[in-house]
Amino acid sequence: MLPAGEIFQALEKGLIDATEFSQPVCDVPLGFHKVAKYNYFPGWHQPSTVQELLINKDVWNQLDDQQKTLIETTCMAATLYSLALSDGMQGKVLRENSEKHGVKTMYWSDEMLTAFENAWLEVAAEEAAKDEMFNKVWKDIQQFRADYKQWASVGFLPRPEPPTAK
């Protein structure tokens, strides 16, 4: 783990061979295109950036319903705006990185994606075994993914092979 301001120098000096900071639009101001000429996708662990607002529970409990609703609505609007804005900015940056800076956009192989997933599942199991809150959130995420898989399998292009009739 390096602070953002130290990543470029570490790449430039060969202290690290690669980095993952965020999305391409965040890499540009840091100048990564000057020292790293390959950009691999998809981002396994961070397909998007998510913000959070943490409020002391005692303070939250002292707020009235209108104040809580205002905070919740503002956070929801900021998240939706950020996701839409961020996705809309990435294409231009990828094109400029390629055309102006010679950065190649690459895809992880299926073998690498499987290795990433297996490593993550191992870490998640370890964390779930020792942290009750992580375990609760992890189970919730797994249930969501299982429920969402049905929609994801039919709702987007490219379409998978249709299921065989039984």
Q: What integer pLDDT is reported at residue 164 of this predicted model? A: 56
Q: What integer pLDDT is reported at residue 163 of this predicted model? A: 58
pTM for the complete prediction?
Answer: 0.71
Ordered by start, the domain boundaries in the chain are 1-108, 109-166
Selection from 58, 62, 46, 57 nearest residue 120 by Cα: 46
Q: What is the pLDDT along the chain (166 residues), one digit of tens a residue?
A: 888 889 999 999 999 999 888 888 888 999 999 999 999 888 766 666 678 899 999 999 999 999 999 999 999 999 899 888 888 899 999 999 999 999 999 998 989 999 999 999 999 999 999 999 999 999 999 999 999 998 888 888 877 666 555 5
